[in-house]
């Protein structure tokens, strides 16, 4: 019996040691210095808006999104919002949050992404259980597709009801932002100069609805693809353009083969950088 106990204890010790020496991710600040989760939380508590940049299929991103929300809820009133919900689906989302619509009903009434159940339902249910507002911040995708083909001017042709789901027109736009210029370089021939405009209509609309749903004294956590807030561009540019004094912190996700030292190209992408092991499994 004693030998069995010692064997179990030894196995437990080895598992603990190896799990500590093989982390799934490491947190860094913008300069590439390792930071603790608790230090990041303390910094987030000082802000008004947190933009959480994720890889849509990365389980570490999704797990940390929920854990950060739970921990910040202990000290701040929260408002949540996400790129993954388009603004015309807000009524259905509200009904679900108010327990007037089932999960199946939400799936029928709203356009949910394919990984909603595994990756975003936990956040929505957390909001529901804690009476937290959850805003659908993104532009309906059909309007982004229209802009990709015909530029911002095509939005002048849609109805007033449809315009209510988009940032107010005309859309401010800075074609010289590196992120938009990089899109043209990375995808030549895919819509020309209108391609980054389609990205911009998403960024502008998400920023607009973040400001619409933000409540003074609260902390708004917004979940979006990393590219929408990396390098303090995209959504950040539109938020600052409309409210320069807003206290914003950004988080982004990167993937590296070796996570023990942040690569130069991944530094300064955000205030906090989640560096995930390149071999991490994906959710789809």
CATH code at 58? Answer: 3.40.50.11550
The mean pLDDT of the chain is 92
Task: Examine the pLDDT at 273 and tell me if it is beyond 80.
Answer: yes
Q: What is the mean pLDDT of residues 205-210?
A: 98
The answer to whether position 20 is within a domain reads no
The whole-angstrom distance between residue 109's C-alpha and the CA centroid of its chain comes to 23
Whole-angstrom Cα distance, residue 182 to residue 84?
A: 23
**What is the SS3 assignment for 282?**
coil
Q: Has residue 251 been placed in a domain?
A: yes
In a domain, 273, yes or no: no
- The predicted pLDDT at position 131 comes to 98
| DSSP tag of 201 | H
Residue 77 lies in a domain: yes
Q: State yes or no: pLDDT of 13 exceeds 50.
A: no
Tell me, yes or no, whether 138 lies in a domain: yes
Residues spanned by the domain of 105: 34-261
In the predicted structure, residue 138 carries a pLDDT above the cut 50: yes
pLDDT at 191: 59
Q: What's the rounded Cα separation, in Å, for the pair 125 and 132?
A: 10
Q: Do the domain assignments include residue 125?
A: yes
The answer to the question of residue 186 being in a domain is: yes
Domains of the chain: total: 1
Residue 268 lies in a domain: no
- The answer to whether 184 and 195 are in contact (CB under 8 A) is yes
């Amino acid at each position: 019996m004693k030998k069995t106990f010692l064997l179990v204890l030894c196995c437990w010790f080895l598992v603990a040691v190896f799990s500590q020496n093989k982390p799934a991710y490491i947190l860094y600040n913008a300069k590439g210095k390792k930071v603790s989760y608790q230090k990041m939380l303390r910094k987030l508590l000082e802000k008004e808006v947190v933009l959480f940049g994720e890889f849509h299929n990365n389980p570490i991103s999704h797990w940390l999104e929920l854990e950060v929300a739970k921990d910040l809820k202990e000290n701040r009133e929260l408002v949540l919002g996400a790129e993954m919900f388009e603004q015309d689906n807000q009524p259905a989302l509200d009904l679900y949050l108010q327990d007037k619509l089932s999960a199946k009903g939400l799936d029928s009434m709203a356009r949910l992404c394919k990984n909603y159940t595994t990756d975003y339902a936990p956040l929505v249910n957390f909001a529901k259980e804690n009476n937290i507002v959850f805003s659908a911040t993104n532009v309906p995708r059909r309007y982004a597709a229209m802009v990709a083909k015909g530029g911002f001017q095509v939005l002048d042709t849609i109805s007033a009801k449809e315009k209510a789901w988009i940032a107010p027109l005309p859309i401010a736009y800075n074609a010289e932002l590196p992120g938009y210029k990089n899109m043209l370089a990375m995808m030549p021939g895919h819509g020309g100069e209108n391609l980054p405009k389609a990205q911009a209509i998403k960024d502008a609309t998400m920023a607009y609805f973040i400001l619409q749903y933000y409540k003074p004294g609260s902390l708004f956590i917004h979940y979006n693809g990393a590219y929408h807030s990396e390098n303090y561009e995209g959504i950040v540019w539109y938020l600052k353009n409309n409210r320069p004094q807003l206290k914003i912190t950004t988080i982004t996700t990167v993937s590296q083969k070796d996570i023990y030292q942040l690569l130069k190209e991944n530094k300064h992408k955000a205030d906090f950088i989640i560096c995930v092991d390149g071999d991490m499994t994906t959710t789809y």
